[in-house]
């Protein structure tokens, strides 16, 4: 018998949670915080820019070196963000683009700056958004077909598991540690594949030089 699980599950709740945890709506733990930046403003010229294409799916890694050079071709309104926010890619939510920025900048309006509420740790919120359950929910309630977008009103109604704050911090730290390990393993595998790909040609060269 499991003693660490609350067995008084409501039929509307996806599964039982450990003691101290609770089911809440996504809108109970974060809110949209959009501060528009006009394209000709001083902020637009000063702040580095992130577009949806700059974000790696699944990991939230920002690719490339952010600088003011990225601002030259951006002629539309953008949203300001800082290190308090989680950036959520609402366009084609199946791409699973979620960022926890560490600097002040501005982003495409296809990225929504979400501000965690006091009951939610920023990195825990980011991992909640990256879950397959969140991606599937967003796609079920999307708007549009050719260029689907997350319906944020519906997404904020989704039930999410909320752990106590100390547990949120531990979970987020452990997940990041595990993802770093996976990334290191993937990089090692890619290097091995590169070696394997060039090996046949190296063998052929040796063979026709009388070295085999």
- For residue 124, is it within any domain? yes
Evaluate whether 78 touches 44 at the Cβ level (below 8 Å): yes
pTM: 0.80
Query: Is there a domain that residue 184 lies in?
Result: yes
Q: Do residue 44 and residue 91 come from a single domain?
A: yes
Is the domain of 171 the same as that of 209? yes
Specify the length of the chain in residues: 212
H or E stretch at 94: none
CA 197 to each of CA 20, 193, 201, 205, 209: distance values in angstroms, whole numbers, following the listed order: 52, 6, 8, 14, 20
Does 179 share its domain with 86? no
Helix (H/G/I), strand (E/B), else coil: 106: strand
12-65 residue pLDDT tens: 788 899 999 999 999 999 999 999 999 989 999 899 999 999 999 988 889 875
Task: Judge if 155 and 190 occupy the same domain.
Answer: no
Same domain, 56 and 156: yes
How many domains does the structure of the chain reveal? 2
Identify the domain containing residue 153 by its residue range.
22-163
Tens digit of each residue's pLDDT (9 = 90 or more) over 109-163: 999 999 999 999 999 999 999 999 999 999 999 998 889 999 999 999 999 999 9
- Would 14 be classed as within a structural domain? no
56 domain residue, yes or no: yes
Q: Find all residues with CB under 8 Å of 139, minimum gap 6, and list them.
A: 93, 94, 148
Q: How far is it, in rounded angstroms, from Cα 119 to Cα 179?
A: 24
Element (H, E) at 22: strand 22-25
The domain that holds 122 is classified in CATH as: 3.90.220.20
DSSP reduced 3-state for 161: strand
- 114 in a domain, yes or no? yes
Do 37 and 138 belong together in one domain?
yes
Q: Is residue 17 a part of any domain in this protein?
A: no
Cross-strand bridge partners of residue 87? 99, 113
* Co-location of 82 and 179 in the same domain: no
């Amino acid at each position: 018998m499991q003693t660490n699980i609350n067995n008084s599950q409501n039929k509307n709740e996806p599964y039982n949670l450990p003691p101290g945890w609770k089911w809440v709506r996504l809108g109970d733990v974060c809110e949209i915080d959009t501060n528009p930046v006009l394209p000709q403003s001083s902020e637009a010229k000063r702040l580095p820019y992130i577009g949806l294409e700059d974000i790696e799916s699944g990991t939230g890694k920002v690719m490339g070196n952010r600088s003011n050079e990225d601002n030259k071709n951006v002629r539309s309104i953008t949203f300001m963000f800082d290190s308090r926010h989680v950036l959520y890619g609402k366009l084609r939510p199946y791409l699973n683009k979620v960022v926890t920025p560490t600097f002040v900048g501005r982003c495409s309006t296809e990225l929504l700056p979400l501000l965690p509420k006091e009951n939610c740790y920023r990195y825990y919120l980011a991992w909640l958004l990256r879950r397959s359950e969140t991606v599937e929910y967003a796609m079920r309630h999307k708007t549009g077909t050719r260029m689907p977008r997350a319906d944020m009103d519906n997404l904020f109604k989704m039930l999410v598991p909320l752990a106590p704050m100390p547990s949120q911090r531990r979970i987020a730290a452990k997940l990041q540690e595990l993802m770093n390990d996976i990334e290191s393993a993937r990089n090692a595998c890619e290097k091995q594949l590169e070696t394997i790909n060039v090996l046949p040609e190296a063998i052929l060269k040796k063979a026709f030089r009388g070295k085999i």
